[in-house]
């Protein structure tokens, strides 16, 4: 097997659940998952299962808050310490495994995830409150990450030739770094967890996975995939626990070599700061790969090619998975000449948009609080209060006439709340879009080529979309990661991503 001999990478297709065969598969998977609700899962440390202390971590269904999904251990400080030490001890063995063998295991994981697709979807419906379609996209992305990174590792296993000095043979090899601490968020509970984990593993690192406390069951199910695929039991660790109890410990541990984090700006910056401090006995500068929040803007210009398509794109970007995507559109910046007409188009689309729950009671509280702030700052168009439905449901909320200095223009809300702002012209719209500490995604709707060119040049985001929505990045097609306080621009799902998990060694041999 080599990189060139494989068929080209193709994204995993989404199933259409209006087709009876696919609907039946999902219904069966949900019924099966329901038989396992409330099951207890173990930690996985140094190749063996372990229990934690008497206090357990419990996850619940955001659509039915009383429904217990999974019971998980809370790793103690002693267990977290031991986990890092054990991963460090096993690292040289795993790093010495030829890349092609690691790649084969990852292709095994692809096959298993494809087979268990409906099952993973079902757990995401139950534990994260995803719709079937959103869950399908999440599982497909997880499959794509595995498939794509397996191929990229094959490519890196035989780096291109170097300039050869006379009388010398020179080459370059890529080595793993060491123990990677993997800290994913709950909003793509499978895709992001899987992407960060397998990127680290396939490059020869051992991983200590601390899942999000909102979605530990999905993570535990993925540990089963690693097991089934044949990854050595000591190459990965499953370490649920309270961020406040073991978070700092695993980040600051002197044997931790890197931290791969996706989550909020606050936690990411704390990790970055803690990781920068050299600990006694530490022999390297830790790397931090951090992907953080967003306050993503879509510009709708007066020369919008199709105002209805733009309104639909904004609504889907703002309210898909209840706005709980780092890429979600939370600001729409509209040219004054079409402002009223555009706002009028948004309202019915938002009201017809399918509703779902936000992740937790505490998220609900934060979002409702921002909605109250927004009502003071602007003009409520639709939504604005909790739904009477069961679960943490907040309907799509739109607040117009928001200024750049308003809090709901600047702060990440991470829920179904869209701020609408008026721009004098395109220059002003771009200036407003860039008036943010974040820089993750952005989009522009215009038919004017000069304005598109201006956006290509001046819209300061890691992922720019022209005449389309700003969510739905596809592995391989839209390498993903943000500028400024949105993170280290790691470009997940892109050709450069794996380099962050590797160190290159240059070897030059004098010919005798």
State which residue, 213 or 448, has the beta carbon closest to ligand NAD. 213
The pair of structure tokens assigned to 51 is 């229990």
CB of 328 to ligand NAD, least distance (A): 8
How far is it, in rounded angstroms, from Cα 17 to Cα 174? 43
How far CA 479 is from CA of 150, 297, 473, in Å, comes to 16, 19, 7
Residue 101 annotated to the active site: no
State which residue, 234 or 265, has the beta carbon closest to ligand NAD. 265
CB of 482 to ligand NAD, least distance (A): 5
Q: List contacts with ligand NAD (CB under 6 A).
A: 183-188, 192, 210, 212-213, 243, 247-248, 251, 262-264, 267, 270-271, 291-294, 326, 412, 414, 440, 482, 486-487
CB of 447 to ligand NAD, least distance (A): 30
* CB neighbourhood size of 173 (10 A): 15
CB of 324 to ligand NAD, least distance (A): 7
Q: Dihedral sign, CA of 274, 277, 278, 280?
A: negative
State which residue, 181 or 423, has the beta carbon closest to ligand NAD. 181
Tell me phi and psi for residue 344, to 5 degrees.
Answer: -65, -30
How far is it, in rounded angstroms, from Cα 465 to Cα 478? 10
* CB neighbourhood size of 305 (10 A): 12
Which listed residue (134, 136, 214, 291) is catalytic?
291
How far is it, in rounded angstroms, from Cα 507 to Cα 512? 15
For 373, what's the count of Cα atoms within 13 Å in the CB-facing half-sphere? Answer: 18
Integer-rounded Cα Rg, in Å, for the chain is 23
State which residue, 116 or 478, has the beta carbon closest to ligand NAD. 478
How far is it, in rounded angstroms, from Cα 480 to Cα 182? 18
* CB neighbourhood size of 303 (10 A): 14
Which listed residue (12, 119, 136, 326) is catalytic?
326
* CB neighbourhood size of 278 (10 A): 12
CB of 406 to ligand NAD, least distance (A): 19
Planar angle of CA 244, 129, 259, nearest 5 degrees: 35
Say if residues 229 and 251 touch (Cβ distance below 8 Å): no
Say if residues 188 and 141 touch (Cβ distance below 8 Å): yes
State which residue, 29 or 259, has the beta carbon closest to ligand NAD. 259
* CB neighbourhood size of 485 (10 A): 19
Residue nearest to ligand NAD (CB): 247
State which residue, 132 or 414, has the beta carbon closest to ligand NAD. 414
Residue 403 annotated to the active site: no
CB of 126 to ligand NAD, least distance (A): 18
State which residue, 442 or 487, has the beta carbon closest to ligand NAD. 487
Say if residues 321 and 187 touch (Cβ distance below 8 Å): yes
Say if residues 141 and 191 touch (Cβ distance below 8 Å): yes
* CB neighbourhood size of 123 (10 A): 28
Residue whose entry in the numeric block shows the structure tokens 């096993």: 90
CB of 56 to ligand NAD, least distance (A): 16
CB of 463 to ligand NAD, least distance (A): 9
State which residue, 143 or 359, has the beta carbon closest to ligand NAD. 359
Tell me phi and psi for residue 233, to 5 degrees.
Answer: -60, -20
Which residues are catalytic, by number? 291, 326
């Amino acid at each position: 097997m080599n990189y060139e001999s494989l068929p080209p990478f193709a994204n995993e297709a989404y199933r259409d659940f209006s087709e009876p065969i696919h609907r039946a598969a999902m219904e069966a998977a949900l019924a099966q998952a329901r038989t396992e609700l409330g099951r207890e899962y173990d930690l996985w440390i140094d190749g063996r299962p372990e229990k934690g202390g008497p206090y357990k971590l419990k996850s619940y269904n955001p659509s039915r808050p009383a429904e217990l999904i999974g019971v998980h251990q809370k790793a103690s400080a002693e267990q977290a310490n031991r986990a890092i030490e054990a991963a460090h001890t096993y690292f040289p063995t795993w790093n010495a495994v030829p890349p092609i063998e690691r790649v084969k295991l990852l292709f095994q994981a692809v096959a298993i995830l494809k087979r268990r697709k409906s099952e993973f979807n079902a757990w995401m419906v139950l534990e994260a409150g995803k719709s079937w379609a959103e869950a399908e996209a999440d599982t497909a992305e997880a499959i794509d990450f595995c498939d794509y990174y397996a191929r990229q590792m094959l490519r890196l296993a035989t780096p291109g030739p170097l300039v050869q000095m006379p009388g010398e043979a020179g080459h370059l090899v890529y080595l793993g770094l060491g123990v990677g601490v993997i800290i994913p968020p709950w909003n793509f509970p499978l895709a992001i967890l899987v992407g960060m984990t397998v990127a680290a593993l396939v490059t020869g690192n051992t991983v200590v996975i601390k899942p999000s406390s909102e979605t530990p069951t999905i993570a535990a199910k993925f540990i089963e995939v690693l097991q089934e695929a044949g990854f050595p039991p000591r190459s990965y660790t499953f370490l649920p626990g309270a961020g406040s109890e073991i978070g700092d410990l695993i980040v600051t541990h002197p044997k931790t070599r890197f931290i791969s984090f996706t989550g909020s700006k606050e936690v990411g910056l704390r990790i970055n700061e803690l990781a920068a401090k050299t600990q006694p006995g530490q022999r390297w500068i830790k790397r931090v790969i951090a992907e953080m929040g967003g306050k993503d803007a879509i510009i709708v210009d007066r020369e919008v090619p199709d105002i209805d398509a733009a309104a639909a794109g904004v609504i889907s970007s703002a309210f898909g998975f209840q706005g709980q995507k780092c890429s979600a559109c939370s600001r729409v910046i509209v040219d004054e000449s079409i402002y009223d007409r555009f706002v009028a188009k948004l309202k019915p689309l938002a009201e017809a948009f399918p509703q779902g729950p936000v992740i937790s009671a505490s998220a609900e509280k934060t979002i409702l609080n921002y909605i109250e702030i927004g009502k003071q700052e602007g003009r409520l168009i639709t939504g604005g209060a909790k739904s009477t439905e069961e679960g943490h449901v907040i309907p799509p909320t739109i607040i117009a006439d928001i200024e750049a200095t308003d809090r709901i223009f600047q702060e990440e809300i991470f829920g179904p709340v869209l701020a609408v702002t008026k721009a004098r012209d395109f220059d002003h719209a771009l200036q407003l879009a860039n008036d943010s500490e974040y820089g993750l995604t952005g989009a522009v709707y215009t038919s004017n080529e000069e304005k598109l060119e201006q956006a290509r040049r001046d819209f300061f985001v890691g992922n720019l979309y022209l005449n389309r929505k700003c969510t739905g990045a596809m592995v391989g097609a839209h390498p993903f990661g943000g500028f400024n306080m949105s993170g280290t621009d790691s470009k997940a799902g892109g050709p450069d991503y794996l380099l962050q998990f590797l160190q290159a060694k240059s070897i030059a041999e004098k010919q005798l």
